[in-house]
Amino acid sequence: MGSSMRLKDFITVQSVSINPMDAPDHLFHLYSLPSFDENQTREEVYGRQIQSNKSIVPDKCILFNKLNVRFKRIWLIDNKDRDKICSTEFLPLIVDEDKVDFHFCYFLLHSPAITNYLTGQNTNTSGSHKRIDPDDFLSIEVTLPSMTEQKGIGKFLYDLEQKITVNRQINDYLAA
């Protein structure tokens, strides 16, 4: 039997703001909603091209979109690249890996139960631009399997996702 916890028991939002225009000639790795929607590849952008404040992206985190959560724009970040930034429409989430497996947490956040809960809790109610409240998000209660099961599930789903990505790239290449 698993243990019941709230997301805030094992996830921390790390929001550190930066103004890229302060470094106009600096090349940033930008994780944005448009680049996620286009091909889930970050953009390489100079500071002078970025017109608004961004959040610094930690080396190992999950970027979870605050806007229109039903579209599930969730980015798994695990690299030591410098100068990673993201739209302030993402919550940079740090996972306490002593409590939850990193990959399991990523797939947990994709679950329909989380999405359905959040689409019912949106604070800004204008039709097309619904934002979640980070406090509501962090208060979601989940039941977690044992760490051994989490690691197995997380690895299986991550490996499967990687295989799907490679197959998609092969198909795109063959189509071209």
Q: pLDDT-based confidence at 121, cuts 50/70/90?
A: low
Tell me the CB-side half-sphere exposure of residue 73, using CA atoms within 13 A.
26
Average of per-residue pLDDT across 38-56 = 94
Q: Exposure string (b/e) for 148-157, b if CB count within 10 Å is 16 or more? A: eebeebbeeb
Q: What is the pLDDT of residues 125-163, one digit of tens each?
A: 555 567 889 999 999 999 999 999 999 999 999 999 999
So what's the pLDDT on residue 126? 53
Q: What are phi and psi of 104, to 5 degrees?
A: -60, -45
CATH placement of domain 3-175: 3.90.220.20
Please state the pTM of the whole predicted model.
0.90
* Structure tokens belonging to residue 170: 């092969």
C-alpha 108 chain-centroid distance: 12
**Domain ranges within the chain, ordered by starting residue:** 3-175
- Find out whether 47 and 22 touch, Cβ atoms under 8 Å: yes
So what's the pLDDT on residue 1? 60
Amino acid at 90: F
